[in-house]
Amino acid sequence: MKAIGVGVLVVIGLLGVTWLAQGNDFSLYRYFAPKYEQVRRDTFEQSKAYRQGMVQELQNMQFEYAKAQPDQRAALASIILHRAADFDETVLPPDLRQFVAQLRREHGAVR
């Protein structure tokens, strides 16, 4: 009977240790996961592919803006300004940088 009691206590003890380890693992994940994700996002936004893709996309939008009818330009300007809002403008070609600045002045967007 003593052996069964000791066995039950050992099983309960192992379950308790496992529960503590899982809780600790969850706490660490909850603390570090947002930090890992922020580093991953920053690394992606600094990548050459992202920057070139954004420049190309903004250039395509600039071309569409130039072709658009006057009543369509306000909508396109809003989209362009939204896309360029969080992008580092120092990597934009000078003509594209001027275009975005002009849209900000014309449509009252503040940077």
With 0-12 CB in 10 A as exposed, 13-18 as middle and 19+ as buried, what is 98? Answer: exposed
Indicate the SS3 state at residue 109. Answer: coil
45-93: per-residue pLDDT in tens? 999 999 999 999 999 999 999 999 988 999 999 999 999 988 988 899 9
Q: What's the pLDDT score for residue 110?
A: 56
Whether residue 108 is predicted with pLDDT greater than 80 in this model: the reply is no
Q: Given the structure tokens 């003593």, which residue do they identify?
A: 2
Whether residue 105 is predicted with pLDDT greater than 60 in this model: the reply is yes
Q: What's the pLDDT score for residue 25?
A: 78
